[in-house]
Amino acid sequence: MASRSSRRKLCILIVDDDPDIREATCDAIASWKCAALAAASGQEALDILDHRCVDVVLCDVMMPGIDGAETLRQIKQRVPELPVIMMSAMMTPDLRRHLCAMGAQSCLAKPMGRKDLALALFPWCFPGASEA
């Protein structure tokens, strides 16, 4: 993965089998002047990562085929430094600990609002915002 250049938009990959969540998340990310890529499955996300440079991955946990935990494991094998934020409607403290132990940067409970998403993505979408 190439490092982020000040000349290109931050690129965030959204991985979720629910098309409504993918679309709403992409819309929010675009409103922050970031680029958004969407994948409907873990395998599609891995295929995208083979060909595209992304800065952050937002990944659902419960998906058919390759689930989110396995997708996270494979992402961390391929690109260990790539930040991955996991999302789930079934987020529990135990699941959060498990996913973070696997290498997730953080975890979000769904449904999530724009504020929750912004807070999770703050270090990447708004770098330097806290510097005065």
**11-15 sheet: strands from edge to edge:** 35-39, 11-15, 56-60, 84-88, 106-109
Q: Which CATH number belongs to the domain containing residue 39 in this structure?
A: 3.40.50.2300
- Listed in sequence order, the DSSP H helices in 37-125 are 42-51, 68-78, 93-101, 114-125
Indicate whether 2 pLDDT > 80: no
Evaluate whether residue 15 is within a structural domain.
yes
Could you read off the pLDDT of 24-62 as tens digits, one per residue? 999 999 998 899 999 999 999 999 999 999 999 999 999
Residue 44 has a pLDDT of: 98
Residue 128 has a pLDDT of: 56
Evaluate whether residue 54 is within a structural domain.
yes
Residue 132 has a pLDDT of: 42
Could you read off the pLDDT of 82-99 as tens digits, one per residue? 999 999 999 999 999 999
Residues 6+ apart with CB under 8 A from 22: 14, 16, 38, 40
Evaluate whether residue 4 is within a structural domain.
no
Supply the pTM of this predicted model.
Answer: 0.87
Residue 5 has a pLDDT of: 46
Please give the residue range of the domain that contains residue 22: 11-124
Evaluate whether residue 45 is within a structural domain.
yes
Rounded to a whole number of angstroms, the CA Rg of the chain reads 14
Evaluate whether residue 117 is within a structural domain.
yes
Could you read off the pLDDT of 11-33 as tens digits, one per residue? 999 999 999 999 999 999 999 88
User: How many independent structural domains does the chain possess?
Assistant: 1
Q: Are 62 and 41 in contact (CB under 8 A)?
A: no
Alpha-carbon distances, residue 50 vs 33, 74, 112 (angstroms): 24, 12, 28
